[in-house]
Chain A
Amino acid sequence: MSIQDDIKAAIAKALQDIPCVIGWGAGPEPLRATPLFMRNAADVENFTAGFLAVNNPALYLPSCKGVKTALVVKGCDARSVGQLVAENLVKRDELYLIGYPCSGVIDVDKVAARLEGKCEPGEVTRLREENEDVILDTPGGEVRLAKKDIAADKCARCRYPNAESADVFIGEKRAPVVDQDEYADLADFEKLSLEERKAFWEKELSRCIRCYACRNACPLCVCRDHCVASSREPHWLTQADGVRDKLFFQLIHATHLAGRCTGCGECERACPVGIPVLTLKRAFSRQVEDMFGYMAGIDVNTTPPLLTFRLEEPEIKEREW
């Protein structure tokens, strides 16, 4: 049996006691899967894991509160679950996690770049996986692409491919892609002067349509219907179509996720107009790692540093200022 079949068997088994298992199924086009809520054997037949299993199913957990729910999780998804548990936003005993070794997920924008001049990703009629490659059927014939060239950025810096906290793990564990996230993307960005960075964000955010897909795709954005961006009273953000309010929201979002963001990248992937909003969150994550030695979503028994207080922080030399 393939891993896919083994996972299906594990899902079917879980459904004997648990009403719903969340995973992925075929999406509206060959390059995209969709989150799948499985409740019976027929649903399980539609399950698909692997390179297209992009969405983070942890997103749906806060709305499943009080009902035992099972998730099929990649390593990065498991970190989001871990952080929700660490913050007591979901209960671990209400969860059942089915893990598998993830070898990376697709970034459709990267496929678009590879198909440039040939066709749009929306014209691909079929995708087949063949070991480390995918083969796409396009109007101009077959196109073979290496998975590593079209995988999400986060996959190239993956330290936790295995959903360590899973209740059942299907398949053999993979080695981490890297031992340390060097934040090379931030180093590149920080070569820009402050004025250039400001200009960069103003340009990028001028495209923002304020759909808040970034917020709603974030598994740790748990204020949901009570967001500062949608508050009528007080009316924190104006409705003006200006960069100021859009940047204001992004900074609130990133600040609120400091020490909580696990870097799953769903905010940036969800953005329909391609604004690199994960960069802001990664800047905070690096800061929290440096200052508190804390990585979100790894250890459910450690209180996240910004949710607690210590009289003396070893890395903050208050008395020496």
Chain B
Amino acid sequence: MVMNTDTAQKFVSFEALPAFLAKLAAGATLYAPRRENKAVVYRPWQAGDKVELSLRPTESCKHVVFPRSEELFSFDMGGDPEKPGKAGLTLQEASEPGPAVVFAALSCDARGFLAFDPVYDGCGTGGKAKDTYYLKRREKTTLIVRTCKSSLNTCFCTWVGGSPASSEGADALLTEINGGYLLEAVTDKGASLLASLPAASDEQSAASRAAREQAVQSAPQPPQDMIKAPAALGALFDSAAFWEKQSAHCIYCGACTYLCPTCYCFNITDESNGLKGLRMRSWDNCMSPLFTLETSGHNPRQEKANRLKNRVGHKFSYYPKIHSGRFSCCGCGRCIKSCPSSVDIRKIVLDAIKEAANV
């Protein structure tokens, strides 16, 4: 539900920010970027915490909606440990998630959830197989998205339909201007959080518009032929040589996947202690050989080349083919920036487009 943004612009000065954050934290778990050692991570905010806005966060805020591991339910086999077959099994649903607010998500991160949504909202099943665990958290989470002041070398949101000042997926927008931040509501959920703030002046609104335009200007130009990526990657599916070359330096850790705002795969395990335990869902990672290891011992993606092909293919070919052309990549560039061996997904996609043109 998009509001008339002209009437919903608010201002919070640098000095008044902690009080505003305290107000947000009173009604929900408030996540804000925090510097910890060399990293910037989203943590529950508490009074006195400094919000880190000078460095781009190392991780995305996807764990707020899609926790690294979450309890699906707990179980108790009950009865006699010697005769588990005769025991009376009891199941207990996990507790309901509470409301959450993310302060200063990046615009790419907010768009990342748009790649999640159809998958967890029953796409392919006519809306029947809905993932209520995800949807409940998503519904209860409000995203306050900051405008980026500049782009990093690894940023490429504009390649995949985004922008450093995008409001897509955001509930409210946060733009730094002289003396503080301009906040504007994008959805009703966002507007209700901003209600207590004073309205922005015309000058402040103009400054925010200028800052947002400046951000868009500074963003990298997208390549002309990204639209060819799905077909190109499809054409190279059987090109072992291409994928072996592209993956030679990949060390197949999960850094790219776990820092990615659009990677949504999970594993389910029973974590039990004796006859009691939890059924747990936790992040899984397609770069790991275990991801596709079958019970028989066969692994269709034993080689890292096949795993990297799947990761890139999923984001730039298989997903867009069934989701109206939307890439399941938001161009945040964390997979490039934090890759221990500097694998560059942009280069792989561009090389694929070039290579496929020669096939």
Contact = CB atoms under 8 A, between A and B. Distances in A.
A6 interface: no
Interface stretch (B76-84, B166-174, B184-192, B332-340): B332-340
A235 B269 contact: yes
B327 interface: no
Interface in A96-121: 109, 112, 116-117, 119-120
Contact of A216 (B69, B150, B251): B251
B251 A59 contact: yes
Contact of A109 (B38, B253, B288, B344): B38
What 7 A-B pairs are tightest by C-beta distance, nearest first?
A274-B38, A122-B152, A270-B340, A34-B342, A29-B153, A211-B254, A213-B253
A117 B258 contact: no
Interface in A187-230: 203-204, 207, 209-213, 215-217, 225, 230
A210 B258 CA distance: 8
A250 to B, nearest CB: 15
B354 interface: no
5 contacts: A28-B344, A34-B342, A120-B56, A241-B282, A273-B59
A209 B258 CA distance: 7
Given A210-B258, A273-B39, 14 more contacts: A28-B153, A29-B337, A36-B249, A59-B251, A112-B38, A122-B153, A122-B155, A207-B37, A211-B259, A212-B254, A213-B251, A238-B271, A274-B37, A275-B37
A288 interface: no
Contact size class for B?
35 or more
A241 B66 CA distance: 12
B290 interface: yes
Contact of A32 (B267, B342, B346): B342
Contact of B68 (A122, A209, A238): A209
B257 interface: yes
B55 interface: yes
Interface in A263-301: 266, 269-270, 272-276
Interface string B247-265: 0110111110111000000
Contact of B58 (A35, A124, A266, A273): A273
Given A109-B38, A207-B39, A272-B39, A120 B344 contact: no
Interface residues of A, number: 51
A37 B249 contact: yes
B290 A230 contact: yes
Contacts of B155: 122
B234 interface: no
B348 to A, nearest CB: 11
A28 B266 CA distance: 29
Contact of A117 (B37, B54, B245, B269): B54
Given A28-B342, A230-B288, A240-B271, A210 B39 contact: no
Contacts of B248: 35, 37, 60
B150 A139 contact: yes
Contact of A35 (B152, B153, B249, B271): B249
B68 A210 contact: yes
A155 interface: no
B269 A239 contact: yes
B142 interface: no
B67 interface: yes
A57 B278 CA distance: 42
Contacts of B38: 109, 112, 273-274
Nearest to A29: B153
B317 interface: no
Interface in B258-298: 258-259, 267, 269, 271, 278, 280, 282-283, 285, 288-290, 293
Interface core residue of B248, B257, B259, B336 (most chain A CB under 10 Å): B248
Contacts of A216: 251-253, 340
Contact of B254 (A28, A213, A232): A213
A144 B273 CA distance: 57
B28 to A, nearest CB: 20
A213 B342 contact: no
A212 B55 CA distance: 24
A60 B293 CA distance: 23
Nearest to B346: A28
B68 A266 contact: no
B341 interface: yes
Contact of A209 (B55, B259, B271, B289): B259
Contacts of B235: none
B154 interface: yes
B23 to A, nearest CB: 27
Contacts of A49: none
B268 to A, nearest CB: 9
A217 B251 contact: yes
Contacts of A19: none
A272 B41 contact: no
A50 interface: no
Most buried by B among A59, A117, A209, A269: A209
Given A238-B271, A273-B39, A123 B150 contact: yes
